[in-house]
Structure 1
Amino acid sequence: MALKRNGRTAQYLISLAVSLAAISAGVSVYWSTPMIPKFHSHEAAIEITQEEASWVASLSTPGYVVGSLASSFVVDRFGRRASIIASAVPMAVGTIILQIATKAWMLYMTRLIWGFSTGMFMTVSFIYFVEIADKEIRGKLSVAIRFMFNFGSFLVVSVGSFVSYTTLNRMLIVLPIGHFVACWFIPETPHFYIKEGKVEAAEKSLQLLHGCKDQNELQSRLESLRSDVKKQTRRPGTFKELFTGKQYRRAIVIVIGIKTTQIMSGSLPIQQYAGLIIQESHADIPLSAALISFGAVRFVAGIISSYLVDKVGRRPLLIVTYICTGVTLIIVGIYFYFQEVVGIDIETSSPLRYIPFVGVFLSISLSTIGYDSLVYIIPAEIFPINVKSLAITYLNIYGGLMNFLAVKGFQNMRDWTGLYGVFWYFAAFALLGGTFSFFMAPETKGKSLREILIELQGDLYEEPEERKLNGTKGDVQNRGVKESCELTELACKNEENNRNSTGDS
Structure 2
Amino acid sequence: MGFSRAFMLDMIPQVVATVLGTLMAVSDGMTYGWTSPMIPYFMSNSSHIEMSENDADWMETINLLGYAAGLPFTILSVDHLGRKISMILSALLGCLCWILLLIAEDIKLLYVSRFMAGMAGDMCFVAAPMYIAEISDYRIRGFLSSLIYFMMIVGIVVVYCTGSLAPYWVTPAVGIILTAAQSAFVIFLPESPYYYVYKNKYEKARKALRRLRAHEDLDAEMKEIQQEVEREKTEKGRPQDLVLIKSNRKALLITLLLNGAQHFVGISVFLMNLQLILEQAGSEYIESTTASIIFAVIMLLSTGAASTIIDKYGRRFLLITSSLLTGFSLLAMTIFFHLQYNNYDVAAASWIPAASVMVYAATFKVGLGLVPIVVIAEIFPTTVKALGMTLSDVMYVMAAVVSIYMYQLLSGHYGLHVPLYIFTVCSFAMVGFTLMWLPETKGKTLDEIQMMLKGELVEQKEKKKQKKIDENRV
Give the Å deviation of 1:186: 1.4
Q: Does 1:140 align with 2:137?
A: no
Distance (whole Å) between structure 1 residues aligned to residue 418 and residue 236 of structure 2: 46
Distance in 2 separating the partners of 1:410 and 1:432: 19
Structure 1 position 170, deviation (Å) = 4.2
Letter in 2 for 1:337: H
The change in CA–CA distance for 1:155 and 1:264 in structure 2 (over 3 A counts) is same
Structure 1 residues 10, 175: closer, same or farther in 2, change over 3 A? closer
Corresponding residue number in structure 1 for 2:329: 328
Query: What SS does the corresponding residue of 1:185 show, helix, strand or coil?
Result: coil
Question: Which whole-Å CA distance do the structure 2 matches of 1:104 and 1:281 have between them?
Answer: 32
Report the counterpart of residue 314 of structure 2 in structure 1: 313
The equivalences for 1:252-401 within 5 A come to: 252-284=252-284, 285-340=286-341, 342-347=342-347, 350=348, 352-401=349-398
The alpha-carbon deviation at position 287 of structure 1 amounts to 2.3
What is the aligned length? 459
Could you tell me how far 1:2 is from its partner in structure 2? 5.8
Which of 5, 30, 35 in structure 1 is aligned with 2:33?
30
Offset, 1:93: 2.1
Rounded Cα–Cα distance in structure 2 between residues aligned with 1:313 and 1:304: 14
Q: 2:421 pairs with 402, 419, 424, which one? A: 424
The Cα of 1:231 is off from its aligned counterpart by: 0.5
How far off is 1:436 after superposition?
0.8
Secondary structure of 1:15's aligned partner: helix
Deviations 1:257-303 (A, max 9, x none): 22222221111111111111111111112222111101111111111
Tell me which residue corresponds to 1:102: 105
2:183 equivalent among 145, 162, 180: 180
Aligned to 1:458: 455
Separation of aligned partners in 1, 2:21 and 2:149: 11
For 1:280, give the aligned amino acid: Q
Assess if the C-alpha contact under 8 Å between 1:247 and 1:461 holds in 2: no
State whether residues 413 and 422 of structure 1, in contact with CA within 8 Å, keep that contact through their aligned partners in structure 2. Answer: yes
Q: How far did residue 133 of structure 1 move? A: 0.5
Q: Report the secondary structure of 1:443's partner residue.
A: coil
Partner amino acid for 1:390?
L
Partner of 1:446: 443
**Equivalent residue in structure 2 for 1:402, among 399, 403, 407:** 399
SS in 2 for 1:186: coil
Structure 1 residue 43: Cα displacement? 4.0
Aligned to 1:496: none
Q: For the Cα contact (< 8 Å) 1:21–1:183, is it kept in 2?
A: no
AA of the residue aligned to 1:308:
I
Q: How does 1:129-168 map to 2 (within 5 A)?
A: 129-168=132-171
Contact 2:95 2:175 in 1 (8 A): no
Q: What is the rounded CA distance, in whole Å, between the counterparts of 1:189 and 1:363 in structure 2?
A: 36
**1:271/1:364 contact within 8 Å kept:** no
d(CA) in 2 for partners of 1:389, 1:246: 18
Identical amino acids, percent of aligned pairs:
28
Deviations 1:102-135 (A, max 9, x none): 3333322211111110110111111111101111
Deviation at 1:44, TM superposition (A): 2.6
Answer whether contact 1:64 1:116 (CA < 8 A) is retained. Answer: yes
Q: Tell me, in whole angstroms, the C-alpha distance in 2 between the residues paired with 1:191 and 1:168.
A: 37
- Equivalent positions of 1:218-237 (< 5 A) are 218-237=218-237
What is aligned with 2:121?
Answer: 118
Identify if the C-alpha distance between structure 1 residues 170 and 190 changes in structure 2 by more than 3 Å, giving closer, same or farther. closer
**Preserved contact between residue 448 and residue 457 of structure 2 (Cα < 8 Å):** no
TM, length-normalised to structure 1:
0.86
- The CA deviation at 1:460 is 11
2:210 counterpart of 1:211: no
Give the SS at the match of 1:367. Answer: helix
Match of 2:20 in 1: 17
Q: Does structure 1 retain, via aligned residues, the 8 Å contact 2:24–2:94? A: no
1:63 Cα shift?
A: 1.2
Contact 1:158 1:291 in 2 (8 A): no
Query: Secondary structure of the residue that 2:383 maps to in structure 1?
Result: coil
The CA distance in 2 between the partners of 1:317 and 1:127, in whole Å, is 22
Q: Determine which structure has more spread, i.e. the larger CA radius of gyration.
A: 1
Q: Deviation at 1:81?
A: 0.6
* Partner secondary structure for residue 350 of structure 2: helix
Distance 1:377 1:153 in 2: 20
Q: Is contact 1:88–1:180 with CA below 8 Å preserved after alignment?
A: yes
Alpha-carbon distance, 1:315 to partner: 0.5
Cα distance between partner residues in 1 of 2:9 and 2:374: 24
Give the conservation status (yes or no) of the 8 Å contact 1:140–1:307: yes
Stretches of structure 1 lacking an aligned partner (at least 5 in a row): 468-477, 479-505
**What amino acid maps onto 1:191 in structure 2?**
Y
Letter in 2 for 1:179: Q
